[in-house]
Amino acid sequence: MKNYKNFKRFLLISFMAGISTFAFQECTIDNQKADIYQNILKFTDGIKVINTHEHQRRPDEFGFDSVSFYHLLGQTYLFHDVVSSGLQQLNIQTSGINDVYKLWEQYGGPLDYSRATSYYGHFVKGFQKLYDFTDLSFTETNILHLSDQILVNYSNYSSWFDSAYNKAGFELMFLDQYWNPFNSQVDTEHYALVFHINQLVMEVNTRPASGETPHSIYKEASEEGFAMDEFDDYLNYCDHLFNTYLARKAVCVKNSLAYSRSLKYEEVSYETARSLFEKPSASLSRVESETLQNFIFHWIINKSIEYDLPIQIHTGYLAGNSNYLENSNPLDLDNLFVKYPEAKFVLFHGGYPWTSEFVAMGKMFPNVYLDLVWLPQISREKAVLALDEMLDCVPYNKFFWGGDCAFIEESTGSLEFAKSVVAETLSKRIERGHLTEDVAFDIAKRIFRENAIEVFKLEEKLGREF
């Protein structure tokens, strides 16, 4: 009996020891995982980032005299979630921008419903990095405090932008000025020029009838003294624009036409395009207009090959609160990838929600590159899965990252989000024994910096060392 009692005690002690050993091992493994993630995150903090896509604007370009939290909110992606939650679309600039209590009354509820979204999360991250902001959510009170700081920072915008840019870890941003597409002069200390080509394609069929005042691209051409009577005149002016941008050290071409039409660009003969151009623009059917546009985009691809400019293309999710998502399916670009092996096509945004299609294109075509730009803000969790699938399928010398934001707080938050996506994806691979830390560091460097320098030939184009 006594032996039996001792035996029971022995079993109990062994069991307890087993539990504590198991708990200790679990705890150690958790700590190791956290260390791997933190090591990669720390490594990414040391990378001087080449950001392949931004829309940074000065406050005066928005027409702001001073800037508060609500001014910024009105320009964020987050505001689209606020509208999506059911808030009636309001013009934040005219609804009493200085009445912060009234604004919280209007926006606070819808804003709270978005507290779990990536649009919200990355916006918070920007303030955590650049301001003394430690909360996870915006409240009526902390917004007041933030607004005071924003007001002071934006009272000297250039100095604030420069210090935030450096604190965030940027070395260069590619600037796509879709709101001012013919402006080829940019602040070259922070930006590399992008040639936004939407107008060349979409406005070809806005040719003024005789006696009509030219507008859009025809107005630009007439102001520069270019005749636009013949189809070749039009192409000649487009070539002139290419040369203007090249002279100002443009690093790539950008097409975001999925916001306006399908990504399907069928082949069109020169004769067909010329005869459509010669018809009065107002008489062209939608199909005829698109046919003419298709020719122009093919012409632009040929010029981009001639001038050695990679072509960035918006694919997938469309910002805002109403559009035709099916226009942005990356599969529609397939014929271009086959036809132009010498071009460099850079697909944007993970093609969300067609992320596997996006990855498959990068895998199949040597002339297709994959940019994670904006995907971490659309869905952070999807970005983790997408990067994992990209690493599974595609050599990592073809990946880039960009922010895609209108002001520095949001770009900073988007970089913080992207770093966490890269660290999470890579650390899981290390934990599984599929990757060494050295290779993980190489991948991170490539995504945030080196691929952009190499593929866009930044040293050669910008005439400086990176």
The least distance separating Zn ion from the CB of residue 51, rounded to whole angstroms, comes to: 12
Q: Of the two residues 121 and 316, which places its CB atom closer to Zn ion in the complex?
A: 316
Beta carbon nearer to Zn ion, 53 or 429: 53
How many of the chain's residues bind Zn ion (CB under 5 A)?
1
CA distances from 216 to 221, 228, 292 (A): 9, 12, 17
Q: Using the minimum distance from each CB to Zn ion, give the nearer residue, 196 or 429.
A: 196
Site residues (CB under 5 A) for Zn ion, limited to 76-115: none
Q: Which tokens go with 203? A: 């406005």
| Cβ proximity to Zn ion, 173 vs 440, nearer residue | 173
State in angstroms the smallest separation of the CB of 166 from Zn ion: 23
Question: Which residue's C-beta sits nearest to Zn ion?
Answer: 404
**Residue closer to Zn ion (CB basis): 281 or 377:** 377
Least distance (Å) from Zn ion to the CB of residue 256?
6
Instruction: Give the list of residues 6+ apart from residue 357 with CB closer than 8 angstroms, or none.
Output: 329, 330, 331, 351
Residue 341 has a CB neighbour count (10 Å cut-off) of: 10
Q: Which is nearer to Zn ion, 411 or 425 (CB)?
A: 411
Q: What angle do CA 411, 61, 194 make, to 5 degrees?
A: 60
- What CA–CA distances, in Å, run from 176 to 51, 204, 288, 403, 416? 12, 21, 29, 11, 21
- Spatial contact of 159 and 408, defined as CB atoms under 8 Å apart: no
Written as six digits, the tokens of 185 are 């002069």
Strands (E), 66-219: 170-175, 191-196
Nearest approach in angstroms of CB 466 to Zn ion is 23
Measured from the CB of residue 405, what is the shortest distance to Zn ion in angstroms?
A: 9
Q: Which residue, 371 or 404, has its beta carbon nearer to Zn ion? A: 404
**Based on CB atoms, which residue is closest to Zn ion, 357 or 404?**
404
Nearest C-alpha neighbor of 369 from the set 328, 337, 338: 337
Residues 6+ apart with CB under 8 A from 163: none
Q: How far apart are CA 377 and CA 319, in angstroms?
A: 11
CB contact burial 192-203 (16+ within 10 A = b; e otherwise): bbbbbbbbbbbb
**For residues 282 and 299, what is the distance between their CA atoms, to the nearest angstrom?**
23
User: Smallest distance from the beta carbon of 259 to Zn ion, in angstroms?
Assistant: 10
HSE toward the beta carbon, residue 97, CA cutoff 13 A: 17
Nearest approach, Cβ of 146 to Zn ion (angstroms)?
25
Residue 40 beta carbon to Zn ion: minimum distance, rounded to whole angstroms: 27
The beta strands (E) that lie in 234-305 are given as 252-255
Nearest distance in Å: CB 188, Zn ion: 20
The span from the CA of 304 to the CA of 428, in Å, is 39
Tell me which residues in 206-245 interact with Zn ion (CB under 5 A): none
Least distance in angstroms from the C-beta of 31 to Zn ion? 40
Residues between 120 and 179 that touch Zn ion (CB under 5 A): none
Nearer to Zn ion, 196 or 380 (CB): 196
Residues 6+ apart with CB under 8 A from 92: 70, 71, 73, 74, 79, 103
Gap between the Cα atoms of 172 and 188, Å rounded: 9
Using the minimum distance from each CB to Zn ion, give the nearer residue, 176 or 357.
176
CB of 112 to Zn ion, least distance (A): 28
Taking the mean position of all CA atoms in its chain, how far away is CA 5?
Answer: 69
Alpha-carbon gap, residue 443 to 447, rounded angstroms: 6
Calculate helix-pair angle for 140-154, 100-112, nearest 10 degrees.
Answer: 120
Between 123 and 299, whose beta carbon lies closer to Zn ion?
A: 123
> Is the preceding peptide bond at 353 cis, omega within 30 degrees of 0?
yes
Can you tell me the distance from the alpha carbon of 417 to that of 120, in angstroms, rounded to the nearest whole number? 11
Q: Which is nearer to Zn ion, 312 or 329 (CB)?
A: 312
Span 392-451, contacts to Zn ion by CB under 5 A = 404
The yes or no reply on residue 371 touching Zn ion (CB under 5 A) is: no
Shortest Cβ 160–Zn ion spacing (Å):
23
- Interface with Zn ion by CB under 5 A: which residues? 404
